[in-house]
Structure 1
């Protein structure tokens, strides 16, 4: 392991867990009153001495099925502890099933889930696809599994369920949830997610990665999926800036980026890559598919009253291409032109003929409409939030691209 990787791992352990101890000290120190549970179908209670009982201990219950329209509880624990790791896989990883399986998590007796998301999107990659990748929070070594190492504390109770909202039975699901039973005397932040999709974003209207939430906590980050509208051909979709509204911000945010690919650490376009805190596992302009993420671990985003996260729906192309699309009736609204200097079209007092070659010269940014979905991850000082329920399965599975 390289020095940089060791330092990154140390930062991850300290920042996410809140532990002030060094990584090397945690390895050889024995804490008091902490007990490990591995919860799986082989030991669904995670209790001491209750693992691998079926079939006389010879791999008796490694997996189970989920019939269409039914649910299975993966975790149902009482007490205080922290979920440290989730691994699972299942037999049907088609785009439809990845969006039809709903994973939900409930903390401390709440009847409203803190987590409710399509299972594929929850585990770090959107669009109903799996590809090999690794980030600080999620990984999929070979494109066939689902790993999450986000710490998820609870004080009295933890429940995790998976519901099959497709029309097909799921023949096999395997899982393993690793839990450290420990007392949380201090106030802890509860882990949450929010998933949403807009099949056709509206011109000049920002997509809400995370609608306004009330309370205090920390925005952990997001993974976003985009199907670009074919009417824009293979023009660049990612000029939109991420905005984060904090603690009473109204019309304008406190935090704002400079572009979509800039937000995930790359520049002048977006190809496939995966790093610890930022990446784009899927980036294909010809197919019109992009899936990318950013996790605010070394650069925390805290809030104390409320927070909202959006991303602008802005693309860009050379002026001659933009003029061609305008003449062809493609839905768009030019907003700026870069030609030696930066021309802000929305601040011009008089309307201009944007189809005229003397007016529109250079790289042109424009509002556009695409199919956008996102999973937002955050911690909150309550086991439930004011956010709406997960959208129905027909919206989640509509117009999915076929698996290669």
Structure 2
């Protein structure tokens, strides 16, 4: 038992206020109010409570789990009565898998046992109040949403870190420009990690997309970061390509080479990333292929910029000391060629910050979120 009094509460449609002795009041205590409808354009609160406490677990499910709905439903979280949400993310992406897809997986922060539920286990403390809402920004009514938010009521120290999440999508990245997983944020906190989604640009056929290095800029870093990896699949814990897998701290629930769709995550639990003044997280938009294939891409009009050639005895740096090399020259070194490219990239970043609001941009409009989504889904939606 904790030394100080800690009270347990559950918020659901059977006890919306998470109040003591106020559960199951409808239908004479029988199953009276397990779910709610959310019409198009409407919102509903999952939690709205005053006081100090910690959200410990969120579970929910709903009747329409199509890619469009997973990107059109938005989950917002507000701490300490602030008007701007600390979390404003498409609901599917927030719960661990991008691309508007539902697949079974399990990680330290999120899980979906059979591809039909949404679970989050990230502790979310607050001092003066908490509100969690779901907004239906689609053109369709949602027949049923079920949920429970499990929390504890407890006091917190003054130097509290609040949970935040940010989502970003660029349907076609700019050549040579790093994608921002987390734009510049000022304050003190901890970066928890990210889940990302990539839809391959067909100009590059089925070539490998994941040569880009993740860069984390900390505490005054400007042009160069303190933390940098060696490739996208390396960052998420695998190597030499990327198949489908899920583990506690890293995984790739979707690795569909045929359709050019990859969704993957990395959570910094055993390897914490702290910041004290500011942070920014990016990933290079870079892929690779045998040189003859890269030359064929160029011939067919694909936008790309060669970066390195891994020849038999040397790695040639085409933007550095070997910038005079042109891969089309007959005497150019031969080998695997990495190149900047343009793909459809999205990401959800998770972090703690020592304030309940940030200066990050607002969530992109629903048209941007659903643009070009493939409507096939691993687990078909089921109506109620």
- Normalising by structure 1, report the TM-score: 0.92
Measure how far apart 1:352 and its partner are: 3.7
CA contact (8 A) 1:327 1:355 kept: no
Q: CA shift at 1:358, angstroms?
A: 3.1
Contact kept, 8 Å, 1:80 with 1:183, in 2: the verdict is yes
- Taking the TM superposition and a 5 Å limit, the aligned residue runs for 1:82-231 are 82-231=54-203
- For the pair 1:384 / 2:357, whether they are aligned, the reply is yes
CA distance in 1, matches of 2:321, 2:282: 26
Query: Do the aligned partners of 1:326 and 1:355 also contact (CA within 8 Å) in 2?
Result: no
SS of aligned partner of 1:177: strand
Query: How far has the Cα of 1:30 moved from its partner?
Result: 4.8
CA distance in 2, matches of 1:100, 1:35: 35
Q: Give the superposition deviation at 1:201.
A: 0.2
Report the CA distance between 1:362 and its aligned residue.
Answer: 0.6
* Structure 2: gaps (5+ residues): 378-384
Return the structure number with greater helix share: 1
Which residue number in structure 2 is paired with residue 39 of structure 1? Answer: 11
Structure 1 residue runs without a partner (length 5+): 1-28
Shift of 1:33: 1.3
Task: Please show how residues 298-337 of structure 1 align to structure 2 within 5 Å.
Answer: 298-337=270-309
**How far, CA to CA, are the matches of 1:310 and 1:320 in structure 2?**
29
Distance 1:38 1:218 in 2: 27
The match for 2:346 is: 373
- Does 198-207 or 347-356 show the bigger shift? 347-356
Deviation at 1:156, TM superposition (A): 0.7
Does the C-alpha gap of structure 1 residues 34 and 350 become closer, same or farther in structure 2, counting only changes over 3 Å? Answer: closer
Alpha-carbon distance in structure 1 between the residues aligned to 2:323 and 2:354: 49
Aligned to 2:382: none
- For residues 90-126 of structure 1, give each alpha carbon's deviation from its aligned partner in whole angstroms, at most 9, with x where no partner exists: 0000000000000000000110000000000000000
What's 1:248 paired with?
220
Instruction: State the superposition RMSD in angstroms.
Output: 1.0
Deviations 1:254-307 (A, max 9, x none): 100000000011000000010100000001111100000000000010101110
Q: CA deviation at 1:185?
A: 2.9
| 1:319 and 1:360 in contact (8 A); partners too | no
1:18 corresponding residue in structure 2: none
1:361 Cα deviation (Å)?
A: 1.1
Of residues 177-186 and 74-83 in structure 1, the stretch that sits farther from structure 2 once superposed is 177-186
Question: Contact between 1:101 and 1:118, CA under 8 Å: does it hold in 2?
Answer: yes
- Give, in angstroms, the shift of residue 349 of structure 1: 6.4
> In 1, Cα distance between the equivalents of 2:324 and 2:317?
12
Counterpart Cα distance in 2 of 1:349 and 1:282 = 37
2-structure distance, mates of 1:191, 1:357? 55
CA contact (8 A) 2:68 2:375 kept: no
Contact 2:316 2:322 in 1 (8 A): no
Partner of 1:3: none
Q: 2:317, 2:323 within 8 Å by CA — same for their partners in 1?
A: no
Separation in 2, partners of 1:58, 1:203:
59
